[in-house]
A and B are shown apart, each in its own frame.
Chain A
Amino acid sequence: MLAIEIFSVSFFAAMILNGITLLFGCIGETITEKAGHLNLGIPGIMYMGGIGAILGAFIYEANATNFNGFLAILSAVFFCVLLSALGGGIYAVLTVSLRANQNVTGLALTTFGMGLANFLGGSLGRLAQGGSGVFVSVKRTSDAFTFFIPWLSERTGLFGELFFNSRYGFLTYVALILAVLVHFFFKKTRVGLNLKAVGENPQASDAAGINVTRYKYIAIMVGSIIAGLGGCYFVMNYLKGVWQHGALGDAGWLAVALVIFSLWRPLRSIWGALLFGALTVAYNYLHASTSQQEILKMLPYLVTIVVLIVTSLNKKREDQPPGSLGLHYFREER
């Protein structure tokens, strides 16, 4: 019944496109969690980043007389960063300075971000197509986002199709490089180690002279912007620049799940992202009825639960979440 059709180029491409989206979200959330903040607003921030990219591209396409791909990308990324930084900023102010509960703030931010994205998307759709427009398309900018290395993409046959498919776009490689960089950032740099210390024990870091508030703010902002880029990547490369209501689906929650799966390690999250990407799209490539597909869509969540249980069972110290995750830090307490 479940004949396998997953050994195809299109499956591989879909896996990469979904996986890299999650990788962006996961790297962003990892950085945030390393500072001791469980940001459940990441799904909302990814929506904001996604619509920011659409917005930037839309503004550019509407105003540009000579379409320049580079400027289109710049405009899209700029608005994406702007909106996701707005989301991260709200979260940071509320949880770091105002010491609001992280879970509540995060969930409210997700509601806010998804609402904002769908609102802007709907308004842009109406602008683009008159009264009843339900979607907005920025095809030209989306094309600019795709990346094409002349020799590698064309002449290398299956290898080129698998690894240098023009649908991936340059952001795919940016995400991979970012994962490696963040790995070294946490392992080798003083700032990275300080950040980890802040997440493990803010009291001790404060006593050691680390500016806890500044570290937390910067980590949350940077994490949010990276997660927002994931939204940009998804709408530009996977959805080919077409925004519809609820375009990103549950990608943000999967990104949060992936952080646990990867045990807060950026390198591990690369193959984790690919696995999650495969699990997310698998239902499309297995011969399953529509009802069975819904069951198959449970897979990434089930895998995450299994990982959660396994990591809590083996109790290895290096596999545990940051020590102060979810707790706010108030210097004058105790």
Chain B
Amino acid sequence: MFLSSAIDSYLRLDTFEKVLRAIAIVFIVVAIVCICVVGVIWLVNIIKAALKRRRENPKEKSTKTPLFRIVKNNELKFWQKLLIRIGIFLLGFVLYMIIISLITGASGGQILSTLFKGNFGSSISIWSLLRNTFLLFGVAVALVPVFKMRFWNIGAEGQILVGGLATFAIMKYLTPALHNMQFLLFIVMFLGGILAGMLWGVFPALFKAKFGTNETLFTLMMNYIAIQLVRYFCIKWEKIPGSGEVGIINNVFGSEYPRVGWISNNFLSGIFGNGNYVVLLLLVSVVALAMYVYMKYTKQGYEIKVVGGSVNTANYAAIDVQKVTIRTVLISSAICGFIGMLIVAGVDHSLSPNLAAGRGFTAITVTWLGNFNMVLMLIISAILTFFSAGAKRLASDISLNASMSDVLIGIIIFFILISEFFIRYRVKINLKKKEKEELVNASN
């Protein structure tokens, strides 16, 4: 009865909706299956272990040992890890949908179709998904070497901002001189961006290397100095007095040098159409590839890993820890500055304190959760970008408050963090206390 009416109403939908609903159903089924499989495997293991212990020591009495015991888990196979990741992520996703539908009253299918429309609805939204994914991924790549070295650079936000600021300043003041030699202008912008980023990274690095100053908090503070600096210049260079906005630089209309210093978004427009971000995607990919090679196949990449593993080992191996620290942070902050340059020259063509849009902070999560694996990092960037763009669409379509997207991103990250736990550790249930007795017996 219920099923037939459900099928009936499904058949009356148009094709696009049909496909989306079908995807939704598959998604949920896969989620449930994954969760069940993981749960069953887990439970079976626990019961097996408990039974085995009981068989070995039939006459134990229960004593006051904690019920749960957590042990390291290094035995998981690749597919098990993948299953756990997918399962818990989907659990988070189901919670995400439940929360939205509780708030707005929208059905699951409606939420899903809005999510997909927000990201794949038009070529503009597809390109913006790709662009934002790669920008976030780029910042995450920048953080790989420093995190590998156990240097907590949470100042990526500020490094992006000053990179953007320098780029904008160069576009503003050098366009008249260099508008005939755009290539040179681009080189100057590139150098300006990365040098500004490095300037923001070098102080924390220097003080960390020389005096052991806490870099987490140092870089965090540098963010806010960068934000204030950008605010200052936004007011200094404002178009309309009192607005605090600098407007679009080298605008198509009403400026002397239209589109000078803009990264082309009509590259290969025959294939990708107008308004694409192919250049941007390529540039970030090159950086990511270079970083992969650098970390995996160069001596410097190896040194970074040694320093991250143990500073003492590095000292014994005659690695100059100070030099490695400073060099690595400079590389990282230079890439952040480069991303800032890409955002200003390729996307915004403007300056605002929000140009980094929290990417510097989100990227920390991406790098850490991606476990320095480039592919995983790209996937996580895509997931986070997908959900934040989707939540923005939800905000406009089914009147959900726009701030909800932050809440939902937070929930997704929490769930990914939980999945990391189940990959790294295993929970054992203690039915009996025995190991201690065994030890005593053995020593006797």
Contacts and interface: CB of A to CB of B under 8 A. Distances in A.
A107 B420 CA distance: 17
Contacts of B232: 291-292, 294-295
B211 A312 contact: yes
Given A90-B414, A292-B232, A309-B211, 18 more contacts: A100-B421, A101-B368, A103-B152, A103-B364, A108-B365, A108-B409, A111-B410, A115-B404, A115-B407, A118-B401, A119-B401, A253-B220, A260-B217, A294-B235, A301-B225, A302-B221, A304-B217, A309-B207
21 contacts: A90-B414, A98-B418, A98-B421, A101-B417, A107-B154, A107-B361, A108-B365, A108-B409, A108-B410, A111-B361, A112-B406, A119-B403, A123-B401, A253-B220, A260-B217, A290-B235, A291-B236, A301-B224, A308-B218, A308-B221, A309-B207
Contacts of A110: 361
A36 to B, nearest CB: 14
Interface in A106-140: 107-119, 121-123
A301 B229 CA distance: 12
Given A111-B358, A312-B212, A94 B403 contact: no
A170 to B, nearest CB: 31
A301 B221 contact: yes
Contacts of A101: 368, 417
B411 A122 contact: no
Interface string A255-295: 01100100000000000000000000000000000111011
A115 B218 contact: no
A260 B414 contact: no
B434 interface: no
B183 interface: no
Interface in A232-262: 245, 250, 253, 256-257, 260
Contacts of A292: 232
Contacts of B424: 99
> What secondary structure prevails in chain A residues at the interface with B?
helix
A183 interface: no
Contacts of A332: 70-72
A295 B407 CA distance: 32
Interface of B: 70-72, 152, 154, 207, 211-214, 216-218, 220-222, 224-225, 228-229, 231-232, 235-236, 244, 358, 361-362, 364-365, 368-369, 401-411, 413-414, 417-418, 420-421, 424-425
A112 B368 contact: no
Nearest to B71: A332
A326 interface: yes
Interface string A301-320: 11011001100110000000
Nearest to B215: A308
A45 to B, nearest CB: 12
A38 B152 CA distance: 12
A326 B425 CA distance: 19
A105 interface: yes
A107 B364 contact: yes
A99 B410 contact: no
Interface in A174-213: none
B406 A104 contact: no
Q: How large is the interface on A (under 10, 10 to 19, 20 to 34, 35 or more residues)?
A: 35 or more
Contacts of B365: 104, 107-108
B154 A312 contact: no
Of residues A103, A123, A292, which shows the largest number of chain B Cβ atoms within 10 Å of its Cβ? A103
A308 B228 CA distance: 20
Nearest to A99: B421
Contacts of B403: 114-119, 121-122, 245
A75 B238 CA distance: 45
Contact of B220 (A109, A121, A256, A326): A256
B369 A295 contact: no
A128 to B, nearest CB: 14
Given A99-B424, A111-B410, A313-B211, A297 B154 contact: no
> What secondary structure prevails in chain B residues at the interface with A?
helix
Contacts of B221: 257, 301-302, 304-305, 308
B361 A308 contact: no
A302 B365 CA distance: 26
A118 B404 CA distance: 8
A116 B407 contact: yes
A105 B70 CA distance: 20
Given A99-B425, A107-B154, A326 B216 contact: yes
A333 B74 CA distance: 13
Contacts of B235: 290-291, 294
Given A104-B368, A295-B232, A302 B410 contact: no
A62 interface: no
B225 A100 contact: no
A328 B154 CA distance: 19
A123 B400 CA distance: 9
A59 to B, nearest CB: 17
Contacts of A312: 207, 211-214
B401 to A, nearest CB: 4
B111 to A, nearest CB: 16
B407 A112 contact: yes
Of residues B222, B236, B407, which shows the largest number of chain A Cβ atoms within 10 Å of its Cβ? B407
Of residues A108, A305, A312, A321, which shows the largest number of chain B Cβ atoms within 10 Å of its Cβ? A108
Nearest to B405: A115
Contacts of A123: 401
Nearest to A302: B225
A292 B358 CA distance: 25
Nearest to B407: A115
Of residues B218, B417, B421, which shows the largest number of chain A Cβ atoms within 10 Å of its Cβ? B417
Interface string A26-60: 00000000000010100000000000000000000
Nearest to A297: B228
Nearest to B353: A294
B21 to A, nearest CB: 28
Nearest to A246: B403
B217 A250 contact: no
A158 interface: no
Interface string A159-183: 0000000000000000000000000
A264 to B, nearest CB: 12
A253 B228 CA distance: 14
B213 A112 contact: no
B66 to A, nearest CB: 10
Given A94-B418, A119-B401, A122-B401, A111 B406 contact: yes
A305 B226 CA distance: 13
A40 B211 CA distance: 23
Nearest to A298: B228
Contacts of A116: 403, 406-407, 410
B420 A100 contact: yes
Contacts of A290: 235, 244
Nearest to A103: B152
Contacts of A117: 403
Given A94-B418, A103-B216, A123-B401, A115 B410 contact: yes
